[in-house]
Structure 1
Amino acid sequence: MNHIRTTPPRPVDVTAVFPQLAPLARPAIRLHPRPGAPSPHDSSVGGPLLWPTDEPWPHCHDESHGPVADEWHEGPIAMVPVAQLYVRDVPLLRAPGQADVLQVLWCPFEHEPDYKPPTALFWRTAAEVTDVLAAPPEPAAVEYDGYEPEPCTVAPERITEYPNPLDLDRELRQQLEGVRSWQAPGADDVCALAPNDSYGNDLSMAPGWKVGGWPPWGLTDPIARFCTVCGAGMSPLLTIASHEWDGSGHSWVPYEDQSLPLDKPDVANPPRVHISRTNNLQLYVCPESPDHPHTSLIQ
């Protein structure tokens, strides 16, 4: 990590207007990936992994990678590093045992039936890796460049999030949509003019790469995720994003980036990742055991 990013305070303290939201607050850590030259000993997006030389590199063994792909390739495909996060940098991570590094990889092709890249998670203990793989295999083909992240350093920043409007009960959602509800101390004119939009865009969930927090629903209504082994409700682990801000979310732009041309796509997407072109891929894990399979969802 060699940069700092600071999210501005929210335009209004939403819990001052709606105290019933306070118990629904969740911590999240924005990662703020920015172009850099991370090493295997750093937290990163798209950077080199602390991968032991004596451990096989993961491959996707789907029989064919297509037909939705721009390129057709038969046979295994080397998986691509997506993120490496050290617990020292991202303390929200619940590491199993003595592990202190989370590594995320994916196949650089969208797979049916959900048309998303299959992901693999690995936990390891950094001190146990003495010989690091210097030249991991590269995929023989990729569906498009958006599935090969540009190497980025990260600047983890802890924030507080509140639920997507779709995660709220009907009564509270109706209150958020009412102009009169916002005519209270602490509410500003923007909230009064477009209360529901202001809550969804500026006061609830942060856009971009993050650990924890609330799910960014939009493509679908909320979908409960349950562990296929024990049935426990699964928890959001990591949001992999196609942009850190968009035209409706400039209030989330860190102070350090506000002088940039914010509407240029590459500025808002330093890793140049595109999930199904412009969406998010959210990874969920079982809170009962890290050995249980994770799952993912595009939103």
Structure 2
Amino acid sequence: MTRTTPPRPLDVAVELPELANLARTATRLHPRPGAPTVHDSSVGGPLLWPVGEPWPVYEPVHGAYGPLTTPADMRTLRGIMTQERSRPRRPGMDSLTEQETAVVDRIRAGYAVELLPEGPLPLIPLVQLYARDVPGLPCPEGTDMLQVLWTPFDEIEGSSGAVQLRWRLSSDVQEILTEPPEPAYIDVSDHVPRPCVLHPEQVREFPPMHLLTEEQTQHVDAWTKQRSMDHQHVEYEGDLSIAPGWKLGGWPAHFTYRYPAGPHEFQCGECGGPVEALLTVASSEWDGRSRSWRPAEDMDGHPYHTQSPTIVTVGRGFSLQIYTCTSTLSHLPRTIMQ
């Protein structure tokens, strides 16, 4: 099923002509729960990984705080809660069985840190993108897909190996790894995506406010104020500039909880060169300010399944912007919570 973003309420090129030549094309990924295979583009799905190639690992710098869980327990808990939501609700009745309650209580109690193994832990699959599915995927020569893995710990910002990219040529993978390693424990279950298939769609974007010049910012602010006075409630940030949700390319996400990063943060961690926005990992597909971007096909759907399809939460509901080195895509990515 396709996903179609409604037309923007206004044309930025007409309303703010000085921004017209700054338009970029982004690809909204529109992840939705499904059962992807290694041959599909996905969020949280299995990776087309060759047997014999080392699986990336990462050792948390700050260790685990607990209570912790395991991938198997997390899947069990999600399965129980999915079944619970599907049952009829009766006033005063517990929707979980006695056995389910005992399992849920055990899982939520977690494991003590000292009982778990030390050392590097396997990363977990985050995104797999095939160029045939996702327009605009900037594959290096000789590759046709991108795989992104990250750590289920609260250390995903920076350029440390907690988030890693793999560009590969899919036809080179002759023998596929069918049982990839999993971390022995998980500190942040919100970093384990629910498997989702993708419905890519290209849209036009304009720069976020933190990348506008002072003169452009003043003009946008004056334009917004005038529209408010005229009772025309259309926002540049929420309605016209950046598409919300998971996306490839385009302009970087808005900064939401802090001022923009300093210039040193927008540098490759390996060579110090400039970086470019590659992938946006979002906590939701839209929010109250960006509701006008909600796809037409999702207007009548259940808000939870369409607004938070991956169950991924970055920080306290932010986005993780993944930047790549403009000269060498194989360098470790730069990641910033925005």
TM-score by length of 2: 0.78
Asked whether the equivalents of residues 286 and 307 of structure 2 are also in contact (C-alpha less than 8 Å), the reply is: yes
The one of 11, 14, 32 equivalent to 2:12 is 14
- The alpha-carbon deviation at position 233 of structure 1 amounts to 1.8
- Residue 294 of structure 1 is matched in structure 2 by 333
Q: Separation in 1 of the partners of 2:4 and 2:32?
A: 13
- Residue 321 of structure 2 is matched in structure 1 by 282
Corresponding pairs, count: 286
- The alpha-carbon deviation at position 228 of structure 1 amounts to 3.9
The one of 257, 270, 275 equivalent to 1:219 is 257
- Any idea what the Cα deviations from partners look like across 1:178-198, whole Å, max 9, x if unmatched? 25886xxxxxx6694477x61
Q: Separation in 2 of the partners of 1:51 and 1:145?
A: 23
- Any idea what the Cα deviations from partners look like across 1:126-146, whole Å, max 9, x if unmatched? 000011111111221111321
- Residue 161 of structure 1 is matched in structure 2 by 205
Q: Separation in 1 of the partners of 2:157 and 2:188?
A: 18
Moved more, 56-65 or 266-275: 56-65
Q: Please state which structure has a larger fraction of its residues in helix.
A: 2
- The alpha-carbon deviation at position 220 of structure 1 amounts to 3.0
- Any idea what the Cα deviations from partners look like across 1:221-264, whole Å, max 9, x if unmatched? 333412244443210010000000112211000000011243x4
Moved more, 203-212 or 288-297: 288-297
Question: After the TM superposition, which residues 51-200 of structure 1 pair with which residues of structure 2 at under 5 Å, given as runs?
Answer: 51-62=49-60, 65-67=63-65, 69-71=66-68, 72=113, 73=116, 74-111=118-155, 118-179=162-223, 192-193=230-231, 198-200=235-237
With over 3 angstroms needed to count, the CA separation of the structure-2 counterparts of 1:48 and 1:113, relative to structure 1, is closer
Paired AA for residue 214 in structure 1: W
The one of 257, 263, 267 equivalent to 2:298 is 257
SS at match of 1:251: helix
Say whether residues 1:39 and 2:37 are aligned partners: yes
Say whether residues 1:202 and 2:248 are aligned partners: no
Paired AA for residue 280 in structure 2: T
- Residue 101 of structure 2 is matched in structure 1 by none
Q: Separation in 1 of the partners of 2:236 and 2:2?
A: 26
Moved more, 56-65 or 168-177: 56-65
Paired AA for residue 291 in structure 1: S
Paired AA for residue 286 in structure 2: W
Moved more, 212-221 or 272-281: 212-221
With over 3 angstroms needed to count, the CA separation of the structure-2 counterparts of 1:113 and 1:97, relative to structure 1, is closer
With over 3 angstroms needed to count, the CA separation of the structure-2 counterparts of 1:84 and 1:113, relative to structure 1, is closer
Q: Separation in 2 of the partners of 1:18 and 1:249?
A: 19
Percent of residue pairs bearing the same amino acid type: 43
Paired AA for residue 279 in structure 1: F
Paired AA for residue 106 in structure 1: W
TM-score by length of 1: 0.88
Unaligned residue ranges in structure 1 (runs of 5+): 183-188
Unaligned residue ranges in structure 2 (runs of 5+): 69-112
With over 3 angstroms needed to count, the CA separation of the structure-2 counterparts of 1:144 and 1:226, relative to structure 1, is closer
- The alpha-carbon deviation at position 53 of structure 1 amounts to 1.1
- The alpha-carbon deviation at position 61 of structure 1 amounts to 2.6
Q: Separation in 2 of the partners of 1:48 and 1:180?
A: 45
| Larger-Rg structure | 2
Structure having greater relative contact order (Cα 8 Å, sep ≥ 6): 2
Q: Separation in 2 of the partners of 1:89 and 1:174?
A: 39
TM-align CA RMSD: 2.3
Asked whether the equivalents of residues 191 and 199 of structure 1 are also in contact (C-alpha less than 8 Å), the reply is: no
- Any idea what the Cα deviations from partners look like across 1:101-160, whole Å, max 9, x if unmatched? 10000010112987x992011111100001111111122111132111011000111111
Asked whether the equivalents of residues 30 and 157 of structure 1 are also in contact (C-alpha less than 8 Å), the reply is: yes
SS at match of 1:158: strand
- Any idea what the Cα deviations from partners look like across 1:40-84, whole Å, max 9, x if unmatched? 1111000000000111221213366323x5423522212110000
- Residue 185 of structure 1 is matched in structure 2 by none
- Residue 186 of structure 1 is matched in structure 2 by none
- Residue 47 of structure 2 is matched in structure 1 by 49
Paired AA for residue 198 in structure 2: V
